[in-house]
Each structure stands twice: as structure tokens, then as C-alpha cells.
Amino acid sequence: MRKRILDHLIVGLGIGFIATTLCLWIFKLNEASGAEVMRQFTTWLFASALYGLISLIYDSDIPFPVSLAIHFAGCTAITFAASCAAGFFEFMVWYEWFIYVLPVFIIMYIIIGASVTVITRCQAKKINGKLKK
């Protein structure tokens, strides 16, 4: 069980490192102070580790649609908490989170989810092909 938890943490951090770096560049946080960039980077990497942990739900016997709904709700809650910790509400009103942050989160969730699904299916086909031989 510890190995699975560690695996999920590492995958979450790996995906989060790439996503965080891209977002920092896209949203021009390179113009912010070094302390602000480190605050953002650290907050989102911690959130990424939590995204990885919540992905353990897919290893359970819960039906896929239910586990997907739980995963999405959990990741949304983590994103909201990370936004608070990262200081988003210091320069925006709470409802602006739904206008600016939530759509970016949903787009990233779909892209990452689709990528992971495609990679997993390719790996499964490769393994099945080797087993047939």
C-alpha cells in the first residue's frame, strides 16, 4: 500500500511540475517577485501531490463514473484551497475564482485526464500484445 501511495504522489508531482511551470509562464508570474513565484510553485506542487493521492480512488472497486465524480470534486476542492493558499484572493474577489481559475482547472483536468487515459490504453495494448505472443 505504501508503494502505491508513493507512486501516486510521484506521478502527481511529475504532472504537477509540468503544469505548474507552464501556468507560471502563461500567466506571466515571471514578472512577479521571486518570493511570490516560490509561493505559487510550492503551493501548486503540494496540490499536485494531493491530486496524485486522490487518484488512489481509481484503484478501488468503485464504479468508474462514481470514482471520476469523486476525483473531480476532490481535485476541485484542492484547487480552491490551493488558490487560497497561493494568495489569489488577495487580488481577486471570491466569485472571480469561478470566472478565471475554474475554467483553467477544467481545461487542464480534461487534457491531463485524456492524456493519462491514452497512455494507459497504449500500455495495456502493448502488454496484451506481449502476452499473446
- Please give the mean pLDDT across all residues of the chain: 88
pLDDT at 28: 67
pLDDT at 91: 76
pLDDT at 81: 93
pLDDT beneath 50: ranges in the chain: none
Cα–Cα distance, 67 to 62 (Å, whole number): 6
Residue 62: φ, ψ to 5°: -70, 140
Residue 54, CA atoms < 13 Å, CB-side half-sphere:
19
Per-residue 3-state assignment (H helix, E strand, C coil) for the chain: CHHHHHHHHHHHHHHHHHHHHHHHHHCCHHHCCHHHHHHHHHHHHHHHHHHHHHHHHHHCCCCHHHHHHHHHHHHHHHHHHHHHHHCHHHCCCCCHHHHHHHHHHHHHHHHHHHHHHHHHHHHHHHHHHHHHC
pLDDT in tens, 29-66: 656 677 777 888 899 999 999 999 999 999 899 999 99
